[in-house]
Amino acid sequence: MASTSVSRIIPATSASVWDTIGGFGSLPDWLPYIPESTLLEGGRVRRLTDADGSVIVERLVDFNEVERHYSYTILQAPFPVVGYVSTLRVHSVIGDDGICEVQWSGRFTPEGATENEVVDLFAGIYRDGLDALYQALT
């Protein structure tokens, strides 16, 4: 199993960042390459459409409002992985209420690609996503 994680400091409170990203259907609010998200099964499944029209279906497997994180698995996607689990988390920065750290991480088993290729793919997705979040909030 492979994994990757990307973090970004955001000049905003952890509460305001969580208000932006904490909803399982909120990706289109801050992630330009996901213009559409439809919640299914009472909000436990999201059907995403990316900018190219590809469909990604993900299931929420853990959600913690107090600790500001959620985890999800991929049910359907054009990615060369199986067993994908990802977590999006907002951390407060001790001593500075005006900034926070956002971490996006995942673990997965490559299928049809090398471990390095898949790690690079998801590290790029997470990095670009957190850059987009930074731009959306500043």
pLDDT tens-digit profile of 110-131? 999 999 999 999 999 999 999 9
Q: Where are the alpha helices (DSSP H) in 11-114?
A: 14-21, 27-30
Q: What is the pLDDT of residue 38?
A: 97
Q: What is the pLDDT of residue 57?
A: 98
Q: What is the pLDDT of residue 111?
A: 96
Please say if the pLDDT value at position 97 is more than 90: no
- How much is the mean pLDDT over the chain? 96
C-alpha angle 81-102-60 in degrees, rounded to nearest 5 = 45
Q: What is the pTM of this model?
A: 0.93
